[in-house]
Amino acid sequence: MPNTAKITDCRAISHAFLALHQKDGFEILEPSSLLHPSVHTAFVMSAGLVQIENELAQIIEQTGGKFAFTQPCFRYFDMDLVGKDSIHSSLFHMPAAFYIGSSQRANILPRLWHFLTKTLQLRIDKLWITYLDDPILGVDQQTLDCWKNIGIDTDRLIGLERQHNFWQQRELGQIASDGKKCGPHSEVFYERTEVNCVQCEASSAFIGSCACGRFVEISNSLFIENYIDEQGQLIRADTVFSECVIGAERLAMIQQNVATVHGIAKYSHWRAILQNYFSHQNSPQYYHAMHIIMDHLNAFMHLVADGAPKPGRGGQARIMRKLARGAITQALLWDIDINKLLSLLLSKYNHTHAEYKPEQSLQRLYDELSRFECTLKRAKKQMQKMLQHSVLTEEIKQELQQKWGLPPLLSEKFYATLSTET
């Protein structure tokens, strides 16, 4: 690949990352589905440990322990952050490289640095690197030395405590877990100097802890060398490994010089449609709504293609419902014809994912919309009853949400219309 053209597209970034690893002897594997029989209540959330843990022996035999793939990740617990900051999506892509049997930093970090600064041509003076420096666990000296050997200035290397730079496998939500793996990790942040934040401008100590979006985490490299027991003691693992991941959408955002992950080219068709609907609004608040609609519908379609159940109660169905109703709620808040909007968006879906099923997704969204409309009708009636002798309090809002399925944002909207009608 010629090194002159800037790589900006999400898929091109992912491809370049995999190609670089392939050149160095990593086997390229297919990503795995976000549905797995052992995770009933949610979707698979790890950035690729699934593959390792389920079929480790077979994969090592097939690849010699060096492999890479681009894993779609869906994090339902990040859904509420969407639209509130510039860097969170519920569904995103993580190109990842694994090296089973080695936690040598020199096998991972120099290649990553080459990728970021030569392949993607990121400016070195925009990059910051974190490593473990903890009062109890000590300094991750191997990582620090490796970054110094690469030639990174020490003032760009930020030592952080274990809550930032020590990864520990969670007990729940993982698959075929054979213990609590753990190890230090090292993150690379890109500084967007155009994002004004008094706190972050004053000190790089806020890397990783400020939500302003000035520092964007673009990569993470984990060196898993231990298990941790019930007493918190570290036990050397029989098999050590390294994992290096990058955030494709975040890097695309930086390469395309746009303000948010929902502003990247992948969403341009959808943005154009939504801009039309929102252009008459005179409040910039609508960006928030646009981003939620794009994010949730994108995740919904991906999960449908992966075989997710219809929106409903409990487990995965509940998450599908939350995605559908989250997007619909935004459209209702802004008085948008949701039927028309859904059909426009899903017919203009600009994605080459071979198995995306826009018709099936659209049908499920329509079905969910009519169920939601019934819910809203009942909730509205109930709300009128409850408000005969009261104003809309937080308690009433909560009750309407929990017992009657009315999102608080819509109870406020209905309340405003009720008060103007009377």
Instruction: Choose among 395, 389, 397: nearest CA to 415.
Output: 397
Give me 126's structure tokens: 């925009």
Nearer Cβ to Zn ion, position 206 or 349?
206
Per CB under 5 A, does 328 bind Zn ion? no
Nearer Cβ to Zn ion, position 129 or 144?
129
Contacts of 391 (CB under 8 A, 6+ apart): none
The least CB distance from residue 72 to Zn ion, in Å, is 29
Contacts of 279 (CB under 8 A, 6+ apart): none
Say which DSSP state 86 is in: S
* 308 vs 189: CA distance, rounded Å: 34
Of residues 97 through 156, those in contact with Zn ion by CB under 5 A are none
* 113 vs 122: CA distance, rounded Å: 10
The least CB distance from residue 87 to Zn ion, in Å, is 12
- Measured torsion, CA atoms of residues 84, 89, 90, 95, in degrees rounded to the nearest 10: -160
* 369 vs 379: CA distance, rounded Å: 15
Q: Which x/- pattern over 156-195 shows residues binding Zn ion (rule: CB under 5 A)? A: ----------------------------------------
- Please report, in angstroms and rounded to a whole number, the separation of the first and last CA atoms in the chain: 67
Nearer Cβ to Zn ion, position 62 or 199?
199
The least CB distance from residue 251 to Zn ion, in Å, is 20
The least CB distance from residue 90 to Zn ion, in Å, is 23
- In this chain, which stretch among 42-50, 204-212, 230-238, 343-351 interacts with Zn ion, using CB under 5 A? 204-212
- In this chain, which stretch among 212-220, 237-245, 269-277, 378-386 interacts with Zn ion, using CB under 5 A? 212-220
In the list 19, 81, 157, 212, the residue contacting Zn ion (rule: CB under 5 A) is 212
Please tell me the count of residues contacting Zn ion according to CB under 5 A. Answer: 6
Per CB under 5 A, does 35 bind Zn ion? no
Contacts of 39 (CB under 8 A, 6+ apart): 173, 175
Nearer Cβ to Zn ion, position 121 or 196?
196
Per CB under 5 A, does 207 bind Zn ion? no
* Residues of this chain that bind Zn ion (CB under 5 A): 197, 199-200, 210, 212, 214
